[in-house]
Amino acid sequence: MELIMEINAALKLGLEGFKEFIEQKLLIDKSYLEHPFWMKGGVQMTVLNYLIQQHKRKNVGSVDREIPSDLTEFIDFILSKVQDKNIGLPLHQAITTGKIQLALHLLDTHAFDVNKRDEDGRTLLSLALPTKKRELLIKILMCHPDVNATTRFKEARIPFQPLHQSIVLDFTSGVINLVRAGADVANPVGVRKDTPLLLAARKGKIKALEALLDESPVKDLKLEAESCPEEDEKTGSNAIEALCKRLARDRNNKDLLRGVAMLLCSGAEPPRSEALCQLLADKRSDLLKEIDNYMDSRPKLVDPFVHRCHVVDSALYNIIYVDHSWGSALRQLFGRQSDAAFIIERLVTRKYSRRQEGSMDSPELPTAAAVPLKGNEPPFKLYAEFVKRHNEAYQNQRITWSTMHGMIAEGKCSWDTVKQYAGSNPGSRTQIIYDDMFKKLPKMEMHESIENSTGSPTFKS
């Protein structure tokens, strides 16, 4: 208590008076600022710790109203006088007491050991992440801490790396910046041996899942890694299975379905369980919407995903194309097919009808049906373009029954199928569209006008 009374009295003198007080104390005891003092409640504090505690304090009593609220300059002066700026862990204290602006200032103006741990073994990163303050995290990372150092949290009782902690917090910026700083994206955590991707899936942290997929090479994430099985399980779950199990318990959760779409687009295989695959098939329409939205800004994923969809009788093929529902049977009866196949092929035409980023070349696929193709495009692009044109023609017909349309919708078609069908069915819509894809437009040559007998200009083309 004597220390508090002395420091408070010195603070009331203003900055210069406070400096004189500290200088006098140091003449008497050179280690005055280094060693802690007893406080009420048995707490041990250095002078610096006390100043941080009082900085921007609330509930100011009448006795302390003469003490400045902002003690930044006083804190800077103390730090200029101590050799070991980590004594008392001022950065840890500023963060844990919610004084983020002070912590940012300290990081900007002083050099600290950012790998120091507090008395509970917590690293600076482990304290900063729960604040979800992006600027604070980035400033700490700029000091090059050990981004894989673990902290054992009392409530979890297991050591967490900062990336694991960010995932549990669903702190997107934390995931992004830790991955960019070199965090291990494959190291498991806990007794279930969850990789970061598995942890995000099992906890249903979809923002964190998306950040991992966007920032890390897929091969490093180990998409098919399994967690250790529970007591009532024979096998563990991989990321997509963990998400699907959550979806089975919460069938209307769109975020979970979005997470499944992300994993499928990124190359994850569908669940090994037929029941979970059927769950996704039952949600085909909503799943395809999520796939379409996710792919729109990630065109690099389109080609491999579409190729996987085309593998007949694979689990993914069955989820996308095979529909045994009553609704499907009724649609087929009236010539109205599922639009799933058309959504898949539209991923291709959308990608290749856009100008590639950084390129001035024309798009590979035309944006209008009147524009012919070169004919040397890869078969999957030609097939996607045919499907687009066939669907446009189909939508304008009164008679909706179409053999080709049904084959496309059921995933029983390919570019080779189209060519064979067009060749053996002359005059069919398929043959007309096929020929139209490669037609050559006549060249129009404009000649000078010649007056005819009536005085009207005549043009020859």
**pLDDT digit string (tens) for 131-177?**
999 999 999 999 999 999 999 987 767 899 999 999 999 999 999 99
The residues pairing with 45 across neighbouring beta strands, listed in sequence order, are: 37
d(CA 387, CA 109): 62
Residue 376: per-residue pLDDT: 84
CB of 104 within 8 A of CB of 135?
yes
Residue 88 CB contacts under 8 Å (≥ 6 apart), including other chains: 36, 45, 46, 48, 49
188 pLDDT exceeds 60?
A: yes
d(CA 277, CA 330): 23
330 pLDDT exceeds 50?
A: no
CB of 437 within 8 A of CB of 389?
yes
Minimal CA–CA distance to 18: which of 80, 103, 105, 63? 80
CB of 287 within 8 A of CB of 257?
yes
Taking only the tens place, the pLDDT of each residue in 352-383 is: 988 766 565 667 777 666 667 888 889 999 99
pTM of the predicted protein model: 0.86
Q: How would residue 451 be classed by pLDDT, with cut points 50, 70 and 90? A: very low
Q: Residue 38 corresponds to which tokens in the numbers above?
A: 């007893």
Taking only the tens place, the pLDDT of each residue in 205-259 is: 999 999 999 999 999 999 999 998 887 778 899 999 999 999 999 999 999 999 9
pLDDT above 90 covers what percent of the chain? 69
The residues pairing with 44 across neighbouring beta strands, listed in sequence order, are: 38
Question: Please, what's the b/e burial string for 346-385 (b: 16 or more CB within 10 A of its CB; e: otherwise)?
Answer: bbbbbbbbeeeeeeeeeebbbeeeeeebeeebeebbbbbb
Averaged over 19-41, what is the pLDDT?
A: 91
460 pLDDT exceeds 60?
A: no
Q: Residue 33 corresponds to which tokens in the numbers above?
A: 């600022």
Q: Residue 78 corresponds to which tokens in the numbers above?
A: 């103390």
Averaged over 77-99, what is the pLDDT?
A: 96
* More confident: 325 or 8: 8
Question: Please, what's the b/e burial string for 287-317 (b: 16 or more CB within 10 A of its CB; e: otherwise)?
Answer: bbbbbbebbeeebebbbebbebbbeeeebbb
